[in-house]
Amino acid sequence: MDNSLNEKEIQKRVRREAIKRNWLLFRQSTLGMIGICIIFFFFILAILQPILFMTGVWDEGVYHPVVGYEELKVNLLVVECPDEYPTQKYESVGDCPGDGEITQRQIYNPNINPQVGDIHESLLQPSPPSSRHLLGTDSLGRDIFSQIMEGSQVAFILGLMSAIIGVSISTLLGTIAAFYGGRVDAYLMRQSDLVLMLPSLPFLFIVSAFAELKIWHLAVVLGVIGGLGGSVITIKSQALQVKVKPFVDSARITGGSNMKIIFSHILPNVAPLALLFMVFSVTGAIASESTLSFLGLLNIEMSWGIMIYLSQTDGYIFSGMAYWWLILPAGLAVTFLSGGFYLVGRGLDDVFNPRLRKR
C-alpha cells in the first residue's frame, strides 16, 4: 500500500512538473500570450450572454440577438429645404436636412401628413451606441453587443468542431499512409492532392445549393475538406519520422500487432503536430464562416458573418463611418479571434519545436 501511494505521488508530481515546464516555455513567447488573452476575452464574451440573460440583468425581449427588439424613437423637426444655397441655416445642398431634422418628402407614410414645422416621431434604427445599447442597434432594433456575443459562441463552436473533425481525419489518414506505405500511401496522397486542387469556396457554394448548411453541417463539411487536404501530407511525414525510430522496432520485436503500434506508439508522438494543426485550422474555419455568411449561403440565425451580410443587404456597408457600429465590431471580432488562435499556434510551435526556442 505504501509503495503504490508513493508511485501515485511521484506520478502526480511528474505530471505537474511537465505542465509547469511547458507553461513556462509557452509564457516566453509574447505572441502566444497575446493570443491566449484574445481568446480568453472572446470566451468571456461567449459565456457572458447566457449569464446576463439568466440573471435577469438583460431583458430577453430587448437584448436577444435575433428576436430582441427595442423601439427607440427620436423626435425630428420637419423642414423644407430651400432651392438656393447658402442660406442662414444651411451652407450647401448636403447640409439640408441637418441633425434632428427631416424633410417632408423623406417621410414615407401616406397615413400621416406632416407639415413643415411639425415634430415627427421617427424610429431610430439603426441607432448609434448609447447607454442602453453599448454598441448600438442594427436596422431591426437588435442589440449589436448581444449579437457579437452570440457570434462569439458560434465562432467557438464552429471553429473547434471543424478543427477537431479535420484533425482527427488527417491524423488518422496521415499515420495510416506512413505506416503501410505502398498502394495505400499512393492512394491517400493522390486523394490529398485532389482535395488541395479543389477551389474550396466554389465547392462550398455547390454544397450549399444541395444541403441546408446549419452550424453543425458546416462544421462537418469544413472539417472533412480540411482533414482530407494538405495536412495529411505533413502529418504523414511526421509519422514517417516516428516510424523509423528504434522504439517502434522494439515494439514490433516484442510482438506488437500493427494496430497496437499505430495507436499506442505512433499516434501519441504525432499528437503535438496534430494539436498545432488544429489550432491553425480554427483560424481558417472562422474566416470561412464569415465569408460564406457574407455571401448569404448559410442558414445560421446569427453570427459575425451574418452581421456583415445584413449590413450589406441593408445598404449600410458603403456608408463610411456614418454607421460604423454595424460593420466594425463584427469585422474586428473575426479578425481578432482568428488572429488570436493563430498566435496561440505560434506560441505552441515554440513549445513543441525545441530548435525554435530562445533557450
Partner 1 sequence: MPKNVIEIKNLEKYFEVNAGFLNRKKSIVKAVDNISFNIPIGESLGLVGQSGCGKTTTARTLCLLDQKTNGEVNYYNTETKEMENIDNLNDSELKKFRSNIQMIFQDPYESLNPRWTIKDIILEPLNIHNIGSLGDREEAVKEILTTVGLTPPENYMPRYPHELSGGQRQRVSIARTLIMKPKFVVCDEPTSMLDVSIRISIMDLMLNLAKDLEVSYLYITHDLAVARYMCNRIAVMFNGKIVEIAETEELLKNPVHPYTKRLISSIPVPDPQYERKEYDLNFDELDEIISNNPDTDMVDIGTDHFVATHDVKDILF
- The residue range among 40-48, 134-142, 241-249, 312-320 that interacts with partner 1, by the rule CB under 8 A, is 241-249
- The residue range among 157-165, 253-261, 328-336, 338-346 that interacts with partner 1, by the rule CB under 8 A, is 253-261
Given 182, 255, 320, 354, the residue binding partner 1 (CB under 8 A): 255
Q: At 257, give phi and psi (nearest 5°).
A: -80, 165
Alpha carbon separation from 221 to 126, 289, 311 (Å, rounded): 35, 11, 27
* Contact between 252 and partner 1 per CB under 8 A: yes
Given 203, 247, 263, 318, the residue binding partner 1 (CB under 8 A): 247
* Contact between 121 and partner 1 per CB under 8 A: no
Can you tell me the distance from the alpha carbon of 191 to that of 125, in angstroms, rounded to the nearest whole number? 51
> Roughly how many angstroms between the first and final C-alpha of the chain, as a whole number?
41
For partner 1, the closer CB: 8 or 132: 8
Given 14, 24, 57, 356, the residue binding partner 1 (CB under 8 A): 14
Burial of residue 206, with CB atoms counted within 10 A of its CB: 0-12 exposed, 13-18 middle, 19 or more buried: exposed
* Contact between 10 and partner 1 per CB under 8 A: yes
* Contact between 6 and partner 1 per CB under 8 A: yes
- The residue range among 23-31, 83-91, 195-203, 247-255 that interacts with partner 1, by the rule CB under 8 A, is 247-255
CB 38 within 8 A of CB 356: no
Residues that bind partner 1 (rule: CB under 8 A) add up to a total of 23
Can you give the length of the chain in residues?
Answer: 359
DSSP codes joined into one string, 39-106: HHHHHHHHHHHHHHHHTTSS-HHHH-TTT-----EEEEEEE---SSS--SS-SSGGGSS-TTEEEGGG
- The residue range among 60-68, 90-98, 130-138, 240-248 that interacts with partner 1, by the rule CB under 8 A, is 240-248
For partner 1, the closer CB: 253 or 321: 253
Cell 456597408 identifies what position? Answer: 317
Cell 449579437 identifies what position? Answer: 147
Can you tell me the distance from the alpha carbon of 243 to that of 253, in angstroms, rounded to the nearest whole number? 14
* Contact between 198 and partner 1 per CB under 8 A: no
What is the smallest separation between the CB atom of 215 and partner 1, expressed in angstroms?
A: 34
Q: At 229, give phi and psi (nearest 5°).
A: -90, -140
- The residue range among 24-32, 88-96, 262-270, 289-297 that interacts with partner 1, by the rule CB under 8 A, is 262-270
What is the smallest separation between the CB atom of 253 and partner 1, expressed in angstroms?
A: 5
Binding residues for partner 1, per CB under 8 A?
3, 6-8, 10-11, 14, 18, 245-247, 249-256, 260, 265, 268-269
